[in-house]
Structure 1
Amino acid sequence: MHGGFRPLPERAICPSPASGQRPAPPTDTIRPKRPSARSTDTDLILYEYPFNERIRTLLRLEDLFDRLDYFLGQEHPLQHHVAITTIFEIIDVAGRADLKTDLIKELERQRQALAPLRANPQIDQDALSAVIGELEQGITALNQTVGKAGQLLTDNEWLTSIRSRAIIPGGTCEFDLPAYYAWQHRPAEDRRADILKWARPLTSLRMGTTMVLRLLRESGQSGKVIATGGSFQQMLSGRSYQLMQVYLDESLLAFIPEMSANKYMLWVRFTQQDGDMRPRSVDADIPFLLKLCNF
């Protein structure tokens, strides 16, 4: 990926399997950060399926921000290269739609829906005030963001040169980008400080994305179901959902759910992979937890 690049003797690109640990991200990594959408408090694996393009975009951004957190917390120049290219991906995904306006509208809608609950004595007012405060903070941060997400980064000539070369296979060799090659040999803490500075304009986007997805996930209704013969379908009875979640016990890891839906019905079909990793149908009854989310 970097031609004649000589990796610095800082640490292996990937954490040692023997240690089972990875370095913690720096405390000033852009926040807030959610727990991984694919981890739970129990031995369950979570699969998610978005019903529309807006939620699909937010889920992609969420995964990209998580990737940025991980590689930003590492030490090796090649890992920081991945962090930079991840920032480019975030800008690409966020720039495909007027995401900032959509997030502001959704956060404002949620704030207006929660405000009347302040008069309800059965509601935990401290928790309610905290949520409304977060929503207002997110709305303010997004409103203060100038232009589209990442606009300041696209105006950075040095980053733009890296971005244009990074889309070319092997395009970031030292003879292509000697200044970038020199930057990779700086101390890890200096590189990390630079990446944090470049990622900071995306903080409000992350705040909005995190809050919308958290509220959506918390709105879900769940139930235990069985995919008879590896297949499950359910009528939606005219209700409009935005996110489907399938929780599968870790002991059933070999079974992979393939999900689809329209406004009338949803389907979950389980497959297994053969020796060549090709999917094949499953003829077994598979229990799982189904959760449908909409706010």
Structure 2
Amino acid sequence: MIVYEYPFNERIRTLLRLEDLYEKFSFFLHQSDPMQHHVALATIFEMLEVAGRADLKSDLLQELERQKHTLISFKSNPNVQADMLDRILEDVDRVSSALMACTGKTGQSIRDNEWLMSIRGRTIIPGGACEFDLPSYHAWQKNSAEKRFADISMWFAPIAPLFDAINVVLRLLRESGVTTKVFAQSGSYQQMLQGKMYQLLRVTLQQELNVIPEISANKYMLWIRYMSQGGDMKPKAFDGDIAFDLTLCNF
């Protein structure tokens, strides 16, 4: 199965982008080649660009607090698994406390590091991080994989609580949705949303169908058009019938 997600607003779009960057960062950080660690470091710089909104931290803290109160209200429900609920509440408390302990602007410790900022300034130039441009960076890349891993982990540590909070918020959002099996006729599916506000749409379908959903949605209507991709990689309208899972998520 393959899952496609569509954010309904800019806030969720930002969180999804940061989640995607974190997955890339984590993958390349745990490799051993200097080129792979270069990608991990460059990805941190991309994170700073996306997370530059000053209100992102406060948005996450407010959302976590709101979710905490909602979850606590479920404690009196006999149909709720108490141990699972307690674990979720512990996760919310843990990431909220860690995020609240972060001071200053997101990534300020990296911005204050002149050496890292010199690398950041060169990486935005195509081919700008060559050894003759950044000899000190070239020397650092010759360190052992363990030393490079420790350094990058240390530089990332001050912004790690932000990504822990994003992980919990997006997990709660995805788990809030109810999945229904629906059917697209002639490659098209429409559903009226009647003004109800959603934050995230998830489409799950069989990967072997080799189709790609093009999604457009607002609070009134959802429209999914399926496309196929040939050898030239140019998407073309798909006119077959498709069964897929649709999940609308909202806190």
In structure 2, what is the Cα distance between the partners aligned to 1:124 and 1:234? 33
Residues 218-273 of structure 1: CA deviation (Å, up to 9, x unaligned): 00011111111101110012211100000011221x21111110110011101112
Match of 1:138 in 2: 95
- Give 3-state SS (helix, strand or coil) of 1:138's partner: helix
- Tell me which residue corresponds to 2:180: 223
Q: Distance in 2 between matches of 1:119 and 1:263?
A: 33
Question: So what's the TM-score if we normalise by structure 2?
Answer: 0.97
SS in 1 for 2:45: helix
Matches within 5 A, 1:5-20: none
CA distance in 1, matches of 2:19, 2:158: 16
Distance, in Å, in 2 between the alignment partners of 1:229 and 1:121 is: 45
Which runs of 5 or more structure 2 residues have no equivalent in the other structure?
none
SS in 2 for 1:136: helix
Looking at structure 2, the residues matched to 251 and 175 of structure 1 have their Cα atoms a distance apart, in angstroms, of: 47
Pairing partner for 1:285 from 232, 238, 241: 241
Q: Is the partner of 1:75 in helix, strand or coil?
A: coil
Q: CA deviation at 1:196?
A: 0.5
SS at match of 1:272: strand
The aligned counterpart of 1:35 is: none
**Distance across 2 between alignment mates of 1:187 and 1:88:** 22
CA distance in 2, matches of 1:97, 1:241: 24
Gaps of 5+ in 1: 1-43
The count of corresponding residues between Structure 1 and Structure 2 is 251
> How far did 1:291 drift?
0.7
* 1:176 corresponds to which of 133, 144, 148: 133
Task: Say what the alpha-carbon RMSD is for the aligned residues.
Answer: 1.1
For residue 270 of structure 1, give the secondary structure of its aligned residue in structure 2. Answer: strand
Greater percentage in helix:
2
- 2:233 & 2:79 partners in 1: Cα distance? 52
Matched-pair identity in %: 57
Counterparts in 2 of 1:18-37, with a 5 A limit? Answer: none
Structure 1's consecutive aligned runs of 4 or more residues displaced over 4 angstroms after TM superposition are none
1:139 CA displacement: 1.3
Q: Which residue of 2 aligns with 1:124?
A: 81
TM-score by length of 1: 0.83
Shift of 1:123: 2.4
For residues 15 and 50 of structure 2, the distance between their equivalents in structure 1, rounded to whole angstroms, comes to 9
Cα distance, 1:275 vs structure 2 = 2.9
Match of 1:224, SS state, is strand
Tell me, in whole angstroms, the C-alpha distance in 1 between the residues paired with 2:144 and 2:39: 17
Secondary structure of 1:122 counterpart? coil
Structure 1 position 97, deviation (Å): 4.6
